[in-house]
Amino acid sequence: MRKVVLISLTLIMLTAAASATTFHGDVQRTGNFTASGEIIPHLAWKTQLTGLVGASPVYHNGNIYVTNWFGWGDWQPGLYSLNATTGSVEWRNASISGASSVAVFGNLLVVGDITGMLYYVDAASGDIVKAVKLESSPSWWGIASSPLVYNGSVYVTTFSNGTLWKIDSDGNVVWRYTTGGEIGPYTSPSAFKGLVFFAGNESGNGLLVAVNESGVEQWKFPVDGKITNSPSTDGQRVYVATETKLYAVNLDGTEAWSVAFSGTMSTAAVAYGNVYIGSDGKLYCFNASDGTKKWETAVNGKIDSSPAVAGGVVYFATNTPEGTLYAVDALSGEVLWYYRLSPPSGSYYNIMSSPFIAENKLFIGADSGYVYCFETSGSFEFNVTLIPGKFEVLVNGNSYEVNRTTALGALYESENHTVNGAKVWFDVSLDDSWYSQYGFFIKTIMGLGTDQIDGNWIYWSVWNETGQISVGADRYNLNQKETVYYCYGDGSSLNSCLILLKINAEVKPAGISSLELSNGNRGGNITAWVNVTSASTDWYVVVVSGVGEQGEAIAGISTFRLNAGEELRVPVLIYIPQLADQGTYSLYAGVYRFSEYPANLIHLYGPASCEVS
């Protein structure tokens, strides 16, 4: 435990920041950040803090500052300082924990705590400089509001009585404005042109309140229910959500527009004339001027995370057991990639934390107890198994068939992969402008396409071990074991790639693309239909086998001949013994060369389920 250092805050601060480094990026809570390129699902580092990391990490001067709280089993509470480049822990103050995101105030950190204290902490050492008790009824949350540093003062809300506090640079209370009723524990104030905006509650009636820097009320705007998030403003309107509506309020306190909406903790980001905000299972984009919905994107769960916008991409996460970080195109809402956490059985890796982008990196916490750092460049390596056959792609409204055993087939097989205990998916789009002569060109991967950086053109090129491939990826057939590379760079060499996808492909001589099962009765049969494709002419064996819920085993076998490139729907009869257990059976299909059966299995597919009665 670190001791409280009783010295003047004014002396320890070298400068009072004109605008704080804070939750959602700035004092207006716009969610706008800067990055030289798109953040990709390449993990630079992850650091385990233990507990739940619900606060948003905040970057300042080469470090990340973040708190954790309420963990599973043995956990280490604290306010942490991490090296932003390596993720190493610089210091930990075990006296502070919670879900409040840090605000940087010169050389100090200002942060709330689950006990209801507001702390001023030395950013270099982690020592507590001042502690102020503000929340008299902390309950589970204490001060989960994220402090705002504005014009040399600190503003923060306490939830139990709907109070906005102004604290000076020495940690002294200057004034407070109390609305009296309970507000959302996570809602935080924002500011613009001398006005401070915050959520209030008068006699059970929700309010958006604007006061000046002297604490004098400028206006109150009534809302339907309780405000669930933090006010954000683009300098023309203030945006807040309740459980039933999304509001845009003019700076004079009049309504600009409102729409029916299921609000969460997700604070709106405002960029490109749009409002981006999360809800129950969808991210929405509204026109900031009139509230017209431009698009909505469905995701894998509730969004409490507040979107971060940089370089035409919106980043956010889902508060669901398989917490997922998403990147979507800001104009279309198209998902560019996601990074989905995979908790062990009985655990929940929800993500309440919001992304923070700095130094071309994205930082975010999760209920896994980790802080994650993603970057704009890096190398990926995938091991894929390809089976003969074709799949369909749709390009510019045209449908095409692509061989699975091509370089393009290897890329599509890599779209879904598991890395560092997470499920990662990325989008691929194609250009068919020169299809008849060369095949497909790669238009984008993860949303990244042809661009000019520092006067140099960068684009996706495809390589093998000897050099750049001179045909489209769909025209390049892979050998039995071959490595192909997708390079995002200037095309001069693999060493010049900003992003490199290395795909180690193994091409099977035959493969199974589907397995269908009928149900069956004891003493009868189950019919299995197995789709098999061959790359070479030969005799093959298919075996379909598996077990029931009680461990009863059943199996069937078929022998057949296939020509090179031929696909066949093979029937397999599976006898069910008269005394077999009833219930659900899970079956797999395997294909062998006849000459190598049963020693060498070529490909295994499944499971599929059927019922025995």
Q: Which domains does the chain have, with CATH numbers?
A: 9-376 (2.130.10.10), 395-507 (2.170.130), 510-612 (2.60.40.10)
Cα separation, 101 vs 26, whole angstroms: 13
| pTM of the entire predicted model | 0.92
Tokens standing for 431? 């250009």
Average pLDDT, the chain: 94
Contact between 335 and 427 (Cβ < 8 Å): yes
What does the pLDDT read at residue 19?
Answer: 37
Looking at the predicted structure, is the pLDDT value of residue 458 above 70? yes
Give the Å distances, CA to CA, from 388 to 15, 232, 435, 438, 562. Answer: 66, 53, 22, 22, 12
pLDDT digits (tens, 9 = 90+) for 106-127: 999 999 999 999 999 999 999 9
Which of 114, 133, 60, 63 lies closest to 92 in space, CA to CA?
63
pLDDT digits (tens, 9 = 90+) for 27-82: 999 999 999 999 999 999 999 999 999 999 999 999 999 999 987 778 999 999 99
Which of 191, 198, 246 lies closest to 223 in space, CA to CA?
246
Task: Name, in order, each residue with C-beta under 8 angstroms of 517's C-beta and a sequence gap of 6 or more.
Answer: 526, 527, 528, 529, 587, 608, 609, 610
Query: Rounded to the nearest 5 degrees, what angle is found at the Cα of 510, between the Cα atoms of 506 and 515?
Result: 110
Cis omega before residue 598 (within 30°)? yes
Amino acid at 105: F
What does the pLDDT read at residue 478?
Answer: 95
Cα separation, 91 vs 128, whole angstroms: 13
Cis omega before residue 57 (within 30°)? no
Cα separation, 113 vs 489, whole angstroms: 46
Task: Name, in order, each residue with C-beta under 8 angstroms of 153's C-beta and a sequence gap of 6 or more.
Answer: 166, 167, 168, 169, 174, 213
pLDDT digits (tens, 9 = 90+) for 306-340: 999 999 999 999 999 999 999 999 999 999 999 99
Cα separation, 555 vs 207, whole angstroms: 67
